[in-house]
Structure 1
Amino acid sequence: MRNLKIIIIILIPTLGFSQKNKTYNTWAEAKQTPELVYKLNLSNDSSINEIPREINILHNLEKLAVEKKGITSIPSTIGECLRLKELYLMENRISTLPKTIGNLKSLETLHLRSNNLSSLPNSIGNLSNLRGLYLSENQLTYLPEEIGNLRFLEGIRLDENQLTTIPVQIGELKNMHTFVALKNNLVSLPESFYRLSELKYLDLSDNELANIDGIQQLIKLDILNLDNNKITTLPNGIFNLVRLEKLNLSNNDLSSVKLEFTNWVKLEELHLENNNIQTIPESIGHLLELSRLYLQGNPIEQLPDTLTNLKKLNWLNLSDTQVNQFDIDKLKSQLPGLGVTTRGK
């Protein structure tokens, strides 16, 4: 009898764990035992074309996915799912969010990629536990100031919207390590942006940025992408971003820029293509971890001798430059593992 009691004690938590990991895939099944539903995926439920208003009967719901269903709205009753931690609504036609979304204080992940959102409710700032916010491929023209209340936010994706500015309150997001806003219409960044001291991944490519003064303050950056902007000068301090592993400055208007590569000792990939750079400095020889270098589309006539120091360099693009074949062959003889492309010359 004593052994039987031990078995019961072990089984009860095991059953509970199993139930929490079960994913319900139809609304009909979920509403039969609402108190047992922790995870619900209605993406393949052909019987519904909107999120049911009765979603609030699922008091224990922690994860909800309704993807690629063409849904146009979210019922206000979603705000009563107070235990919800993950919400996935990608690739729908949602144009507005209910104000009640701000009631989801337990929410940690909100995926709304590829919808029709043109604005966010101010209540978005009430999502006090949000870690990841994914808003790519919408029609957002601005972000509410309340975005600055999301103090635990670690990553945000805003690519392919219509943003022209970022609110100054963005500087309050001290835990942010990933910020992606490529393919917008950003012309400047607020000074407060450069207070995001934990930022490691920053992609602002395909915007209208001309001035990036302050970026040197983001000393934890590993990856920086500024491709296809209107940058003509680099702040001196950018060369003190000693953690950089990948840097993309291609398709700007860098010309008489003093390039000083001494401190980028961890850099593995460097894109400088399609600028107006005429000279590569000898200091490039300090980039001992560099494996890929893109210089195509610049009026470069000569390569520095220190390139031979880069023993890990395995790819060099010199298309549409003025570097002669003799110098290229000489470099390849000294770096046997190097692949060079001169297509377009």
Structure 2
Amino acid sequence: MKIFALLFVIYLSSNNIPISNAEVDCSVYDNELHALNINPFYIRNGEYSSATCFSYIDSSNPSQKVTIFRIFNDANPSSSIYCLKSLQKLQLVNTNLTILPDIKNFQNLQSLIIQTDNGYIDKHLPSEFGQLISLLELKLSNIANLEDLPDEIKYLNQLQTLTLEKIPNFNKIPDESISKLIKLNRLNLIELPNLSNIPSKMNNFQLLQQLEITNTNINNLKLENLASLYNLTVTFNAILQTIEITNMLTLSSIDIRNNNELLILKLEKLPSMRTMLLSDNAQLKTVTLNNIFTLYYFTSKSLLNLESISFENTPFLSTLQILSSPQLKSISFVNVTSISSLDLSGCQLTTFPESILTLKSLVSLVMTSNQLSALPLTLSTDLPNLQVLHLQNNKFQGNIFQSPLIYIHELYLTNNSLTSIDGIGNFKSLQILNLDYNQISSIPLEIIKVSPTLKTITINNNLLNHIPLPMINMRLLNSFTAMNNNVSYQERLYLYDYFRQSSINISF
């Protein structure tokens, strides 16, 4: 009779037929290794990261307790798995295992990872899931039917990492229950398109260090007073409109991308913030950053509707990039004393923002691909440390700037409509000058005045018909390129021969 019972259980197990309201009879197995070996596929002995395998405590021990079991792409595991009561790690990848109430047997389980269940897991996990009292890590990924977590999850009070990923029908996190998981340090909510809320009592997660919210259905996100949060990622949330992040003592990195309906972003009192990335939030109009004392790097890209951005009390911000924001109208700085590099490329600015003149530490300013036609007359006096200025692809016309940029080392003016560089001799610190694709017809002789500093001049694709011969005596000049101009062939031959006497590398 015992043999018949054993054969019947093996039949049910190997065909993965759910045993409704009944427990798997573990007494039919001599030990855990016996329960393991009943599976209809080969199981390697040892730890392999991507192959079906197992590991146990001591092969000489008669109990032969199995502690690690990983199944990869073996479709029909036996329900005898539920008799591996010593398991500490269980990973099921592309398997057809129904989650039975017998999961309560895994009292020692510390890590449970289920990826791709092929529709075998029900809409709801059994309440016995809450008896995994030793669980430290739970990852559920690509689960076709699951809609929620059981209320009993509140008993997993040792849980440190929770990942819910690629679960198309998941729509509910039990609010009160999950708030009991006070030891969580990683929470990942990824590709849950029907999830419309995050836990309301996020403040309970005072040990939480990493939080990712990606491709959910949440509308607003407000986080505050998470004392240990270090890294925050909020991406691809289709209807998210407002983000408010305040009073995070340890938050160091924020990544906010591709939230297509995001309108307002407010970040305040983030004393440990160091890096921030904003990209492709197409509807974002307003960004406010206040009291972020350690932020040193900020970049935003393709915020196509951004109108206003303000920085207040960010004293260590050194590198700021706001790229491809064609609707930008206002950028303000209050107590921002350390910016050395500012890039406003592709913002279609028609006037130079006066607020930039308050950035006394600014060394490099990039304003490529805007609509600028003039610079402030006080640029040099207001920004005495400015050395590098990129103004390619703007609307500058006529003569080069009449108020000389006396401190500028590098000046890039490619693809404008300049016709003259008269006054260039007053640019006393100039080392690199790039004037490609303008309409300049002559180089004034006064360029000799910058010979103590000028090293490179590039003036391709202009209207030059003559090169001043005294330029041969610009002794620091090591590169002079003036291709595709109106200099005659005969003169170019003469110039090549003439400049051969100097150390200047020339191209005409």
TM-score by length of 1: 0.72
Could you give the per-residue CA deviations for residues 138-174 of structure 1, whole angstroms, max 9, x where no partner exists? 2143114x4345444333211111135334x337533
Alignment match, 2:493? 326
Q: CA deviation at 1:194?
A: 1.8
In the TM superposition, 1:29-178 aligns within 5 A as 31=161, 37=185, 48-49=190-191, 53=198, 57=205, 58=208, 59=226, 61=228, 63-64=230-231, 66=233, 70-72=236-238, 73=240, 79=246, 81-89=248-256, 91-93=257-259, 95-96=261-262, 101-122=267-288, 124-144=289-309, 146-167=310-331, 169-170=332-333, 173-178=336-341
Q: CA deviation at 1:339?
A: 4.3
Contact 2:451–2:477 at 8 Å: present in 1 too?
no
* Segment of structure 1 superposing worse, 288-297 or 194-203: 288-297
- Among 303, 306, 310, the alignment partner of 2:470 is 306
Structure having the higher Rg: 2
AA aligned to 1:134 is T
Please give the secondary structure, in 2, of the residue aligned with 1:229: coil
AA aligned to 2:191 is N
Contact 2:350–2:371 at 8 Å: present in 1 too?
yes
AA aligned to 2:161 is K
1:277 aligns with 2:440: yes
1:294 aligns with 2:458: yes
C-alpha distance in structure 2 between counterparts of 1:275 and 1:27, whole Å: 62
Contact 2:379–2:405 at 8 Å: present in 1 too?
no
Contact 2:283–2:306 at 8 Å: present in 1 too?
no
Please give the secondary structure, in 1, of the residue aligned with 2:467: coil
Please give the secondary structure, in 1, of the residue aligned with 2:267: helix
RMSD: 3.6
AA aligned to 1:106 is S
Contact 1:239–1:261 at 8 Å: present in 2 too?
no
The structure showing larger relative contact order (alpha-carbon pairs under 8 Å, at least 6 residues apart) is 1
Alignment match, 1:13? none
Structure richer in strand, relative to its length: 2
Alignment match, 1:16? none
Q: CA deviation at 1:208?
A: 0.7
C-alpha distance in structure 2 between counterparts of 1:259 and 1:317, whole Å: 20
AA aligned to 1:231 is F
Q: CA deviation at 1:260?
A: 2.4
AA aligned to 1:186 is L
Change in Cα spacing, 1:293 to 1:237, as seen in structure 2 (3 Å) is same
Contact 1:165–1:189 at 8 Å: present in 2 too?
no
* Segment of structure 1 superposing worse, 248-257 or 101-110: 101-110
Unaligned runs of 5+ residues in structure 2 are 1-136, 140-158, 163-180, 209-225
- Among 218, 221, 229, the alignment partner of 2:394 is 229
Change in Cα spacing, 1:106 to 1:75, as seen in structure 2 (3 Å) is farther
C-alpha distance in structure 1 between counterparts of 2:352 and 2:482, whole Å: 33
Structure richer in helix, relative to its length: 1
Q: CA deviation at 1:272?
A: 1.1
1:202 aligns with 2:369: no
AA aligned to 2:417 is D
Change in Cα spacing, 1:250 to 1:75, as seen in structure 2 (3 Å) is closer
Change in Cα spacing, 1:263 to 1:257, as seen in structure 2 (3 Å) is closer
Q: CA deviation at 1:71?
A: 4.5
C-alpha distance in structure 2 between counterparts of 1:152 and 1:36, whole Å: 31
Q: CA deviation at 1:216?
A: 2.2
Change in Cα spacing, 1:93 to 1:245, as seen in structure 2 (3 Å) is same
Contact 1:283–1:306 at 8 Å: present in 2 too?
no
* Segment of structure 1 superposing worse, 210-219 or 48-57: 48-57
Alignment match, 1:184? 347
AA aligned to 2:483 is S
Contact 1:135–1:158 at 8 Å: present in 2 too?
yes
Could you give the per-residue CA deviations for residues 10-66 of structure 1, whole angstroms, max 9, x where no partner exists? xxxxxxxxxxxxxxxx985853797695xx7x9xx8x72379946762155454264
C-alpha distance in structure 2 between counterparts of 1:336 and 1:235, whole Å: 30
Please give the secondary structure, in 2, of the residue aligned with 1:239: coil
In the TM superposition, 1:223-262 aligns within 5 A as 223-232=388-397, 233-241=399-407, 244-262=408-426
C-alpha distance in structure 2 between counterparts of 1:332 and 1:229, whole Å: 33
Contact 2:363–2:385 at 8 Å: present in 1 too?
yes
Aligned positions, number: 302
AA aligned to 2:446 is S
Change in Cα spacing, 1:275 to 1:100, as seen in structure 2 (3 Å) is closer
Change in Cα spacing, 1:27 to 1:209, as seen in structure 2 (3 Å) is farther
C-alpha distance in structure 2 between counterparts of 1:97 and 1:83, whole Å: 26
C-alpha distance in structure 2 between counterparts of 1:76 and 1:202, whole Å: 30
Contact 1:134–1:157 at 8 Å: present in 2 too?
yes
Contact 1:149–1:172 at 8 Å: present in 2 too?
yes
Change in Cα spacing, 1:102 to 1:95, as seen in structure 2 (3 Å) is farther
C-alpha distance in structure 1 between counterparts of 2:434 and 2:505, whole Å: 17
Could you give the per-residue CA deviations for residues 276-311 of structure 1, whole angstroms, max 9, x where no partner exists? 222212333334454432111222122122322344
Please give the secondary structure, in 1, of the residue aligned with 2:425: coil
Please give the secondary structure, in 2, of the residue aligned with 1:101: strand
C-alpha distance in structure 1 between counterparts of 2:344 and 2:138, whole Å: 36
% identical aligned pairs: 19
- Among 367, 376, 379, the alignment partner of 1:215 is 379
C-alpha distance in structure 1 between counterparts of 2:301 and 2:498, whole Å: 43
